[in-house]
Structure 1
Amino acid sequence: MPAGHRQIPGTGLAGSVKGAHRVPKRPKEPHAKDPRKLASGRWQARVTYYDPETGKRHETSATFATEREAKKWSREQEMAYRANPHRTPADQTLAEFFADWLKTVEARGLAAKTVRDYRQMAAHPLNAFGHKALNKVTPWDIQQLYTAMAESHSSRTINYVHTVLKRALADAVDWGLIVSNPAAKAKAPRGQRQPVEILTPDEARQLLDATRGTRWHTLWALMLHTGLRPGEAIAIRWQDIQWDAQTLRVMQAVSGDGSRKILGPTKTERSTRPIALGSHMMALLRAWQAEQALQREVAGTQWEDHDLVFCTRTGSLLSPRNVARAFKQDLQRAGLPTTLHPHCLRHTMASHWLAAGQSIKVVSERLGHTSVAFTLQTYAHLLPTQQAAAAEAMDRWLLDEPSPRHPHEK
């Protein structure tokens, strides 16, 4: 027998010890797990299956009203994977597709809060027909979902679900998984957009007067002055302020809350932006910087230096929930309605700038909106008064009446 070879037991054949090929392991068989009852009272069906090429373990799931339905679906899925381990992507269920799609959404760099919102909205169609094959979902399935949701959800929530579903299935079309987007043919309820809540100029002054000398005064003033989102405002660092240029750079934002709060990218690409600051705001920030230096001395070794402009008494990241709680306390101190949220300061800035005749494009850029159209949709209720003022100015110009300023003068 040649060197390096040995007899294979039970065969009478010789084989190479060093070069012998290992017999690949047989892939594990797919199997259905027992359905489990969720806190909502529904039943979750689960099936484990394995990639025939890599042996990697996967799991697909769907929820049903009864345990019987869940077991039936599990058995059908198990048999389908046994019959065809090489199922094509189009054979995926909607639930399987969404699991993969949400991973790609995260990889695109969207804010963690946005991804969580997408996952939360996706739960509605997945609970209703997540067990269906991706290429079997119809516009009628989606329309029935919206009809059912209308009994217990606002039109705003249904429209958000529609946006997420439509976006995900549009990607499925682009990737060649389905021929057309069924969500594009479904009709979400219109509903009426709720007008934004704002403070009047007098109320804004009341708030600032009542909080003067407190640790929150500069934060409320900055949000009123800049229109920053609360999560953006508490993520500002001292290095983001360009003192000579009197400019603030919005570079990051806080998302989540409590133990889940994180400091990450802004909501969208356009949310990363420069914002011009006035002289009074710059003076407030200088004074607050000096006050914070004293707080750092008091905290001593407990101080965590994250370079944050607004932070806890030991320098750590503020919780959005605690900011909202402090805002309500300060509203009460100022004698204002405590139903308002810190986000109203952003709406207040935008509303008063538009009411004063500022360009909607400038306001949109300052707010970091994805488009001027979105700004227009949000604050459209303010524009009729501007239109009336513009009409009066045009009348004076056409009739050659004395006017303090020509319509085209800067």
Structure 2
Amino acid sequence: MASIRSRNNKLLFDFTYLGIRCREQTALVDNRLNRSRLGALLSNIEAEIRLNRFVFRKYFPSSPRCPLFAEADAKVDQQLIDSLNTAPTKLLTNIPTFNIFAAEWLAENRIQWKLSHFKNVSMIFENYLMPEFGHLRLNDIARPQLMKFRAGIMSPKRRGTTTKVSNDWINHVMTPLRGILNEAALRYDFPSPFINIKPLKIDKTPIDPFSLGEVQFFLSHIRADFRNYYTVRFFTAMRTAEIDGLKWQYVDFSRQEILIQETLVDGNVETPKTSASYRAIKLSPPVLTALEQQKLITGNQTYVFCNGQGNPLDHRNVTKRVWYPALDRMGLKRRRPYQTRHTCATLWLAAGESPEWISRQLGHSTTKMLFEVYSRYVPNITRQDGSAFDRLIEHFQIESPGDANHE
């Protein structure tokens, strides 16, 4: 049986061809990555041997066994030439159209995707890819057509508007297109047209966090039934899907922690964004107080923040009906609700907390993103346990203006 073996810590191929055992040495050291690479190559060799398309010298041009297989190599070369000359399209007759293969590809990948991602990719296929490529055979799609398609996405779709689609969204559209064409090229043995088409550059959007004074003013004037909600958002750096999906079972008052174990995306319970997103968030005093007050209101429900029927909040509705009207009424600059996460991160940095600790609280696997996004907020002196942040907000108070200011 064909295998990848090691000799003197260098990997070698071990397979049988035309009844002859071939052990071909490589210069690659024995490690997991190199074994994976050679394993894929060995699979190709075995497939070509079964199909009588294997040319020994193509894989091992410096091997002393090349003369031994010269006649067999020449025979295979001639067979391929004859096949192409007599029936130039015969080898490609089994290649399906884009729309047929798309259904198969989506079904195969759905098992590894979150439901929200599957819905997003399906929407891209329906609105962008199927109208453009659905009727074409996969091998008929050429690189110039892909470049033209990408350029066309940039153009405004509605008459009378000059708004262009963002580079980030264009990359999102092109990603599944690249995936399906590369997979089809492997399965049906034709050159992938998605060659050297790099993602468009995405300009970094500067963060726009609130100052501590603005946070205090906002929380003092926001309607009472959302004060606890926004206190938690401002002082935990939770993502929208994380606070939407927060259940009481994940609030640990004894350890003063929130455990991030689930998220809620478009009404569907899903796993957190990344493996690092599974984390325990330390509760600062204002958050602990807000959750204790919220426990009296929704403690008999599943979700911490929910409507009268116990269903989780619809963040789009909250943003439209509560967040933006409140900012306008208070005379504060309009910002997306996600800026509450940036605000908390910058307050932690201002307090002198350790970047490593902050990264764990944010759900980042390393400090790389922290320094990239918040570089100008990083101080020189740091702490490591969250106590500096507690001291920063030690005298923080939320003053209720009374029911008159409630929406």
TM-score (norm: length of structure 1): 0.60
* 1:200 aligns with one of 204, 211, 217: 211
Shift of 1:191: 4.3
Of the structure 1 ranges 145-154 and 217-226, higher mean CA displacement relative to structure 2 is found in 145-154
Name the SS of the counterpart of 1:336 in structure 2: coil
Q: Structure 1: which 5+ residue stretches go unaligned?
A: 1-83, 297-304, 394-410
Which residue number corresponds to residue 327 of structure 2? 331
What pairs with 1:6-405 in structure 2 (closer than 5 Å)?
Answer: 88=94, 91-110=95-114, 112-122=115-125, 123-152=127-156, 153-172=165-184, 176-177=187-188, 181-183=192-194, 185-211=196-222, 214-256=224-266, 261-292=267-298, 305=301, 307-325=302-320, 326-337=322-333, 339-354=334-349, 358=353, 360-369=355-364, 373=368, 377=372, 379=373, 382-384=374-376, 386=378, 390=380
1-structure distance, mates of 2:207, 2:122: 26
What is the CA–CA distance in structure 2 between the aligned matches of 1:135 and 1:364, rounded to whole Å?
45
RMSD: 3.2
Contact kept, 8 Å, 1:236 with 1:252, in 2: the verdict is yes
Change (3 A) 1:371 1:162: farther
Q: Which string of whole-angstrom CA distances, capped at 9 and with x for unpartnered residues, describes residues 249-287 of structure 1? A: 11222222xxxx333333344433322222332222112
Write the deviation string for residues 157-193 of structure 1: whole angstroms up to 9, x where unpaired: 21222333334445556x6355665435113432422
Distance 2:210 2:104 in 1: 43
Q: Is the 8 A contact 2:349 2:377 kept in 1?
A: no
SS in 2 for 1:248: strand
Query: Compared with structure 1, are the counterparts of its residues 350 and 176 closer, same or farther at alpha carbon in structure 2 (3 Å cutoff)?
Result: farther
Deviation string 1:333-366 (CA, Å, 9 cap, x unpaired) is 43323x4232221222233334555555544433
Q: Choose 269-278 or 311-320, whichever is displaced more.
A: 269-278
CA 1:147 to 1:106, structure 2 compared with 1: closer, same or farther past 3 Å? same
1:331 maps to amino acid: L
Aligned equivalents of 1:193, 1:136: Cα separation in 2: 36
C-alpha spacing 1:340/1:176, structure 2 compared with 1 (3 Å): same
> Aligned in 2, Cα 1:242/1:188: closer, same or farther, shift over 3 Å?
same
Letter in 2 for 1:365: R
May I ask how many residue pairs the two structures share in their alignment?
282
The CA deviation at 1:209 is 1.3
**Superposition deviation, residue 236 in structure 1:** 0.8
What is the percentage of aligned positions where both structures have the same residue?
Answer: 23
Distance 2:371 2:108 in 1: 31
What is the rounded CA distance, in whole Å, between the counterparts of 1:103 and 1:211 in structure 2?
Answer: 46
User: What code does the residue aligned with 2:308 have?
Assistant: R
SS in 2 for 1:145: helix
Deviation at 1:144, TM superposition (A): 1.4
Deviations 1:369-403 (A, max 9, x none): 476555555x1xx31564xx65xx8xxxxxxxxxx
What one-letter code is carried by the residue in structure 2 that aligns with 1:155? N
SS in 2 for 1:274: strand
Aligned residue for 1:183, secondary structure, equals coil
Deviation, 1:243, is 1.7
Q: 1:141 to 1:357 in 2, by over 3 A?
A: farther
> One-letter code of the match for 1:161?
V
Q: What TM-score do you get using the length of structure 2 for normalisation?
A: 0.60
Amino acid at match of 1:346: R
Contact (CA 8 Å) 1:254, 1:263: kept in 2 or not?
yes
1:69 paired residue number: none
Q: Is the 8 A contact 1:210 1:333 kept in 2?
A: no
Secondary structure of the corresponding residue to residue 208 of structure 1: helix
User: Using the alignment, how far apart are the partners of 2:236 and 2:366 within structure 1?
Assistant: 18
What SS does the corresponding residue of 1:236 show, helix, strand or coil? coil
